[in-house]
Amino acid sequence: MGLLDILKQYANPGANPAGDVFGHFDTVASQASLKDLGSGIATALRSNATPSLGQTIGSLFGQSNPEQKAGVLNVIMQAMGGAGLASAGGGVLGRILGTGAQGPSTPITAAQAAQVSQSDISTIASSAQQQDGSIVDRLGTFYAQHPTLVKTLGVAALGAVMSHMSSLQRA
């Protein structure tokens, strides 16, 4: 089954397509552009089918390796700025990483990211969303590069990704 055939099954939000949603997502993730996949993931992050952004990013972070954890923290830092990230959630990251009021001036390393808890990233992601709503799009783009992690969000979220991507194909 081709990409367009799969996406047609998800054209109606809430549709219950026949077949393996995880397998469908694998096909879509391997054939779609990163831009379209990122847009679909951002839609799922905003969807009622997933918990709040903070909870969802916390869950993804908990499943991530240290390099992926550093990557997501660096995406958030780019959106919030070093000082904003260091002070997010009451300064959680600033305390963990030992950054001053200026915040981190260099990218966060995998070793540093490994010190951040799932609860901490949930707080940080929520703060980032309050400061800059476009963080959801940036996180969608980041996670488009890590589709195996996205699969941990479950069937409803994957359906939301593919439903959105189906609408892109019709446009």
CA atoms of 28 and 32, how far apart (whole Å): 6
Angle between helices 53-63 and 34-46 (to 10 degrees): 120
Tens digit of each residue's pLDDT (9 = 90 or more) over 17-75: 767 899 999 999 999 999 999 999 999 999 988 899 999 999 999 999 999 999 999 99
Closest CA to 160 of 31, 51, 72: 51
Residue keyed to tokens 């879509």:
28
Q: Give yes or no for a contact between 167 and 13, defined as CB atoms under 8 angstroms apart.
A: no
> Which of 39-48, 71-80, 135-144 has the lowest average pLDDT?
71-80
> Which of 3-7, 94-98, 142-146 has the lowest average pLDDT?
94-98
Closest CA to 6 of 23, 14, 39, 44: 23
Q: Give yes or no for a contact between 93 and 86, defined as CB atoms under 8 angstroms apart.
A: yes
pLDDT of 100: 46
Flag whether pLDDT at 99 surpasses 60. Answer: no
Q: Domain residue spans in the chain? A: 3-170
Tell me the average pLDDT across 128-157.
Answer: 93
Flag whether pLDDT at 127 surpasses 90. Answer: no
Tell me the average pLDDT across 82-105.
Answer: 62
Closest CA to 82 of 59, 68, 99, 66: 99
Contacts of 111 (CB under 8 A, 6+ apart): 66
81 vs 62, higher pLDDT: 62
Tokens of 13: 């939000």
pLDDT band at 101 (very low <50, low <70, confident <90, very high): very low
What is the overall mean pLDDT for the chain?
86
Distance of CA 25 to the CA centre of its chain: 15
CA atoms of 71 and 65, how far apart (whole Å): 10
pLDDT band at 1 (very low <50, low <70, confident <90, very high): confident
Helices marked H in 3-105: 3-9, 21-31, 34-46, 53-63, 66-97
Tell me the average pLDDT across 66-90.
Answer: 81
Residue keyed to tokens 């400061």:
131
Tokens of 129: 């969303």
